[in-house]
Amino acid sequence: MLTDDAGIRTLNANWRSIDKPTNVLSFPALQPEGGGGPDDAPRMLGDIAIAYETTRREADDEQKPFDHHLSHLAVHGFLHLIGYDHENDDDAEDMESLEREILSSLGIPDPYADRIA
């Protein structure tokens, strides 16, 4: 879902108790219980919400093409849907490494290249 800052702020407040807009939120779908057979495969991974206004502002501030930043947020949200997070430094590095690899395969430069270490 592509939404505005007001919409993502509402989602962030309702689901994470954080009353401010953010760039991307992921909502993993409940997975079927069962024996783990082929028929138990998830039919849907979940939902990703991206705030257009925040994404546009961040892309402009970071002097990145909007489509590159939007693609980065979509990849980031997808990785959350399949179980990745960035709650600690090791997990963050694993997730960022995958983001870099996926984005590189799409011809998008490292989104973290300009980050201050």
Going by pLDDT thresholds of 50, 70 and 90, the confidence category of residue 34 is low
Query: Which pLDDT belongs to residue 91?
Result: 94
Going by pLDDT thresholds of 50, 70 and 90, the confidence category of residue 2 is very high
Predicted confidence (pLDDT) at residue 39 exceeds the cutoff of 70: no
Going by pLDDT thresholds of 50, 70 and 90, the confidence category of residue 5 is very high
In the numeric block, the tokens 């980065």 are attached to 72
Predicted confidence (pLDDT) at residue 4 exceeds the cutoff of 60: yes
- Of 75, 98, 96, whose CA–CA distance to 23 is shortest? 75
- Of 47, 109, 46, whose CA–CA distance to 72 is shortest? 109
Six token digits for residue 55: 């994404």
- Tell me the C-alpha distance between 108 and 29, whole Å: 28
Predicted confidence (pLDDT) at residue 54 exceeds the cutoff of 60: yes
Give the residue extent of every domain in the chain.
Answer: 2-28+45-105
Which pTM value belongs to this model?
Answer: 0.87
- Tell me the C-alpha distance between 107 and 41, whole Å: 31
Query: Which pLDDT belongs to residue 43?
Result: 73
Tell me 48's DSSP state.
E
Query: Which pLDDT belongs to residue 88?
Result: 93
Q: For the domain 2-28+45-105, what is the CATH superfamily, name and number?
A: Metalloproteases ("zincins"), catalytic domain (3.40.390.30)
Sheet of strand 2-3, all strands in order from the earlier edge strand to the far edge: 2-3, 46-51, 24-28
